[in-house]
Each structure stands twice: as structure tokens, then as C-alpha cells.
Structure 1
Amino acid sequence: MQDVLQGLPAQIRDDCRVLVLGSMPGAMSLQHARYYAHPRNRLWPLLGALCGFDPQLDYDARLQAMQACGVGLWDVIGQCRRRGSLDTAIVRGSEVPTPLPARIAQLPQLRAIACNGAAAAQAFARFVQPQLAPREAPLAVLALPSTSPANAAFSLPRLQQAWAPLQAWLMPLSAAPAPR
């Protein structure tokens, strides 16, 4: 039987404009307690290109740069059973969602949810979307191709093209206010 896996804490500032959601962190991310820790995952190079920071910065500096640009990270699933890292290995019915609807309600500047891969988009539609409170400003929900190395069909340039619409809501680091 698989162990129950616990997700990572949210990396979301109150001024978040774009929230990138995964399904559940992979084994390497859980082991290192860092989002997108697999060296071949393309999330950090992608966010670096969108926001204007070096994806080779240390983890804390990447988080700070990403948040200064208006991006937050979390996952739809906070707890589940899974063998390995693949989303397809999550045991259906074992998922316990994160409290995303409540957190989203606390983010008045949030303009877009970026679901990183099909599993995140499906989990968001299943667990979160039905519970979202009405918002004054519209909230775009984008189902984007996964940055996982398992998604070999998408090169980094192709991912950059698919994720480019997020730029409309981001604050490039040259224009971002100093962190509080």
C-alpha cells in the first residue's frame, strides 16, 4: 500500500496576480521540500523567461523573484496516495484538496490561475472551481501544458509559447515594487 503523501506549503503573497497550480509535488520535490525540484522540470526556466530572472538562482531567490513578479505556487491536491511521481499514479479517491477556494478569496489582485498540466486542470475543475466564490474581477483559468520532463512532446520554446499569455498579468522584475 502506498504511503499518504503530504504536499508543500503554498508560496503565495497577498499581491499574487497569477497562481500556478500543480496537481501534487513529485517525489523529488517532496524529498527536497522544494517546488519543481526535478532538474529537468522546465517550470523555473519558463518563469525565469517570463519574469526576467535567472533560473539558476538558489531556490529562495527564485521564489522571491517569482513572487515579486506577481506569481504564486501551490497545488490542487494537498494529500494523496501515489507510488512514484507521475500524476497517473495518484490513487483516485485518496486525494484531499488544499484549501484553495478560501485562499483565492483572499487574493484581490489575482487575475489568472495557470494549471500546470492536464492533471492539475482536472483536479482544479473537480475540487476547486465548484467552490469558488463570485469575484469582482474576472478570473482566467488556463489549462497549460505540463512543465514536467514526462511531457517530452513540448520543448522549452514550445512551452514558452503556450505559457506566454500569462505575461499579460505579470509584473516584470524591472517594474515590480520592492518586496515587503
Structure 2
Amino acid sequence: MTETLLQGLAAQLNTQSRVLVLGSMPGMVSLHDAQYYAHPRNRFWPLMSALCGVDVDAGYTQRLAQLQQAGVGLWDVIGQCRRTGSLDAAIVRGSEVVNPLPQLLAAHPAIAVIACNGAAAHTAFQRWVQPALPPLAAALPVLALPSTSPANAAWSLPRLLQQWRQLQPWLQVPAGGAGQAAQG
């Protein structure tokens, strides 16, 4: 198998987004389906159900809209790279092209916190993005949260939820509240 040049997905946020969740680079299922966190065993959408009431059974467009209503936007640190398969460890070092996050943050001043979905996203953010941030954006809290990927099988959904609850102060949970607590 040879590595393939991959192009990431477009940013999904609006002017009301207060939380920016950053992955490293979408996996193959997500890229194929052109949907964030499309792998059926990824725990991102169940987490968002528990945290801010996103309906996991709704279509992708509706889930994105519900996520944005809760003040959450999505993007990735890496916009393009070479990789075989879906694992971050398979990204060919030196092939990474970073998304223009400083420009995105400047265009979305309501963003109050950055949440890195996994260690690879956090490491990439620290390495390539943080040094390029203007002072206001550099002052934003950056949370290194455990990955929702199925490759992070050691973390159960309830354990992930416990860590991801750090986002609650910035979420705009609609009337009716968040979904049911994650079951383990």
C-alpha cells in the first residue's frame, strides 16, 4: 500500500461558535463520506449528544446545525498530508500542510476555547499553529482532550465524557438540556 495525498474537510462553524474542536486529519471513512467523525465506532457524536443534546440519529447536516447551535465548530489542524490508512501515526512526516487557523480565529472572534481531539491534534497545534497565533488568539485556552477515535479503545465513552465535560462552560445548550449521560 502506498500513501495517498489526502485533502481534509472544510471548517464547519459559524459566527456564534465559542468552541473550536480540532482533530488532526479526518480518517478514511470521514474523507470518503465527506463528514466529520463518520466512522461508526467514533465516539464524537455520542459525546456531543451527552454534552449538548445533538441527536445522534439525525442526518449529518442536522447534527452539524445542532452542534453549531450549541456553539461548537469543527476543523482539523492538518488540511493536507500523505498517509496510508486512517491512523495519525501513518501520516508521512513532512507532508503535512496546516490549515490557516490563525486566519480562522481572527475571522471568528467569538471562539473562546480550542479543544484538541486527541494527542496528535494537540501536538500538531502546538508545533505549527500556536507559534503563528497573534496575541489575542494565543491567549485562548487550549484543551488537550482524549481522542474519540475507535483507535483509542482504552477510553470508554463515560471516561471520555468525564474529560470532555471541561467544555461545558462554553457550550450553549438548548432548552431541554443535553442528552442522556453516556452509558458504559
Give the corresponding residue for 1:74. Answer: 75
AA aligned to 1:152 is A
Q: Is the 8 A contact 1:111 1:138 kept in 2?
A: no
Q: Is the 8 A contact 2:10 2:75 kept in 1?
A: yes
Q: TM-score, normalised on structure 1?
A: 0.94
Change (3 A) 1:18 1:81: same
- Write the distance in 2 (CA, Å) between the matches of 1:2 and 1:173: 43
Instruction: Give 1:137 shift.
Output: 9.7
- Write the distance in 2 (CA, Å) between the matches of 1:84 and 1:137: 33
Unaligned runs of 5+ in 1: none
Give the corresponding residue for 2:48. Answer: 47
Change (3 A) 1:28 1:136: closer
- Write the distance in 2 (CA, Å) between the matches of 1:15 and 1:175: 20
Give the corresponding residue for 1:3. Answer: 4
Instruction: Give 1:136 shift.
Output: 8.0
Task: Find the residue that maps to 2:136 and give its secondary structure.
Answer: coil
Q: TM-score, normalised on structure 2?
A: 0.92
The reply to whether residue 64 of structure 1 matches residue 65 of structure 2 is yes
Q: Is the 8 A contact 1:111 1:137 kept in 2?
A: no
User: What is the percent sequence identity of the aligned residues?
Assistant: 63
Give the corresponding residue for 2:157. Answer: 156
- Write the distance in 2 (CA, Å) between the matches of 1:104 and 1:175: 30
Q: Is the 8 A contact 2:13 2:68 kept in 1?
A: yes
Question: What is the RMSD of the two structures over their aligned residues, measured on CA atoms?
Answer: 1.6
Give the corresponding residue for 1:87. Answer: 88
- Write the distance in 1 (CA, Å) between the matches of 2:135 and 2:57: 39
AA aligned to 1:32 is D
- Write the distance in 2 (CA, Å) between the matches of 1:168 and 1:111: 10
Give the corresponding residue for 2:182. Answer: none
Q: Is the 8 A contact 1:53 1:65 kept in 2?
A: yes
Change (3 A) 1:150 1:15: same
Change (3 A) 1:2 1:57: same
The reply to whether residue 131 of structure 1 matches residue 132 of structure 2 is yes
- Write the distance in 2 (CA, Å) between the matches of 1:3 and 1:16: 32
AA aligned to 1:130 is P
Runs of 4+ in 1 over 4 A off after TM superposition: none
Q: Is the 8 A contact 1:53 1:173 kept in 2?
A: no
For each residue in 1:118-173, what CA deviation from the matched residue of structure 2 results, as whole angstroms up to 9, or x when unmatched? Answer: 00000000111011111189411000000000101110000000000100000002
AA aligned to 2:166 is P
Aligned length: 176
Instruction: Give 1:53 shift.
Output: 2.4
